[in-house]
Amino acid sequence: FWFFFGFWFTGGLPSGDGYFAFRALVSLILCLGLFGLPTGYQMPRAIVNRMWRRRIEKFGDQLIDALTFMSNGLRSGLSLIQSMDMVKEELYDPMSQEFALVLSQQRLGVPLEDALLSLEDRIDTEDVQIMVTSINILRQSGGNLTETFDTIAHTVRERKKVEGRIASLTAQGVSQGFIIVCMPFVLAGILYMMDPELIRRMWTTWPGLIMILFMLILQTVGALMIRKIVRIEV
């Protein structure tokens, strides 16, 4: 699709070996997704990565409720396995799915410590690492899991507050980056409505296509730089 789109997009160029090579280069860039472009074979990977990040974020938002459920379950006299089963029944996906997988592995004979380490490998976040490490250590040393779950829940809750504050402070930079990236395309649309013959030269002439290519490269570099600046790890 992207290969044919590239040839269609550059179809206004005159015929000739040099122009054909340039059209093939543009089509190849769109197919390979070079310069960070989410096109070609890079598009499915970008979509899957985005879906996986959303799942991780949703799991992190549910982690406080899961820790609270397990802490209350242990206080009421339930075992750790029963508390985890309560989390599986009461919470929604993806928390319910992940805890169901941990319990299924445990019932099939996999030690609970190894099942929790598999959860840590799947959900590779610092909060999950703290939870898994605490459970495995305290199960061996005989510590108080209830207080540990409360402490972890408090830590995660405070971190979420800091992350929300940082997100609000960096929202202006994110909106500015979005406006800067969209501005050339919006301006091109306005100019096309005002004078189609003038703006059509951008994709029907050799200099215009070179300018578009450099514009896309600079737009990508600028967007990545803005993303690097506004992304703050907590």
pLDDT for the residue numbered 195: 76
pLDDT for the residue numbered 2: 63
Give which of 141, 146, 130, 138 is closest to 63, Cα–Cα: 130
Q: Higher pLDDT residue, 115 or 230?
A: 115
Contact 148, 136 (CB under 8 A): no
In this prediction, residues 42-61 reach a mean pLDDT of 80
CA-to-CA separations, 35 to 20, 180, 183, in angstroms, rounded: 21, 18, 19
Contact 64, 130 (CB under 8 A): no
- Quote the mean pLDDT of the chain: 77
Distance CA 131, CA 105 (A): 18
pLDDT for the residue numbered 234: 54
Query: pLDDT-based confidence at 22, cuts 50/70/90?
Result: low
pLDDT(3) > 80 = no
Distance CA 223, CA 126 (A): 27
Contact 128, 63 (CB under 8 A): yes
pLDDT digits (tens, 9 = 90+) for 164-199: 777 777 777 777 777 877 787 788 778 777 877 777
Contact 58, 94 (CB under 8 A): yes
pLDDT for the residue numbered 47: 78
Query: pLDDT-based confidence at 37, cuts 50/70/90?
Result: low
13 DSSP 8-state letter: S
pLDDT(129) > 80 = yes
Query: pLDDT-based confidence at 42, cuts 50/70/90?
Result: low
pLDDT(4) > 80 = no
Query: pLDDT over 90 for what percent of the chain?
Result: 0
Helix pair 95-107, 112-122: axis angle to 10 deg: 150
pLDDT for the residue numbered 185: 77
Distance CA 109, CA 107 (A): 5
Q: How many residues does the chain have?
A: 234
In this prediction, residues 108-129 reach a mean pLDDT of 83
Contact 177, 230 (CB under 8 A): yes
Residue written as tokens 């990508």? 220
Distance CA 61, CA 57 (A): 6
pLDDT for the residue numbered 230: 67
